[in-house]
């Protein structure tokens, strides 16, 4: 049985993931809020890296000899959100042998842009 992950702890959902496009979402509850009641920036960053990582895994074909690791994550917060659902959509704009770079957009329940991320994912051989 797989061990619980951060994705499980934050109830992230990934309804569509491929090497070309990734979509995720979460419904906001107290686990996602900072003390002022707004979604914590780390939740956006975690979702962005999760989407980029899962998309990269799909894009390299789930090659058992490779591992995918977050390398950089720049997340900018544009609009505070305290309730509802956050939707995330991402696309890679660079797909190399050793790095992939993704742009991720976050919208609130009304479809308004609330955060953006650029995530770099390293693709490396697994160590034995």
Structure tokens at 30: 């107290």
CA angle 95, 42, 9 (to 5 degrees): 95
Query: Per residue in 106-118, is it b (16+ CB within 10 Å) or e — as a string?
Result: bbbeeeeebbbbb
Are residues 86 and 107 in contact, defined by beta-carbon separation less than 8 angstroms? Answer: yes
Cβ distance 77 to 114 under 8 Å?
yes
How far is residue 59's CA from residue 127's CA, in Å, rounded to a whole number? 20
Among 13, 49, 58, 91, which one carries the catalytic annotation? 49
49 catalytic? Reply is: yes
Catalogue the active-site residues. 49
């Amino acid at each position: 049985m797989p061990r619980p992950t951060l994705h499980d702890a934050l109830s992230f959902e990934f309804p569509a993931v491929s090497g070309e496009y990734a979509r995720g979402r979460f419904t906001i509850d107290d686990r996602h809020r900072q003390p002022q009641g707004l979604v914590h920036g780390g939740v956006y960053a975690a979702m962005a890296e999760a989407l980029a990582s899962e998309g990269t895994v799909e894009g390299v074909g789930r090659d058992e000899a490779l591992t995918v690791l977050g390398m950089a994550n720049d997340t900018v917060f544009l609009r505070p959100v305290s309730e509802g659902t956050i939707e995330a959509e991402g696309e890679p704009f660079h797909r190399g042998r050793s790095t992939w770079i993704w742009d991720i957009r976050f919208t609130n329940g009304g479809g308004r842009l609330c955060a953006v991320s650029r995530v770099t994912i390293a693709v490396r051989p697994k160590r034995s």
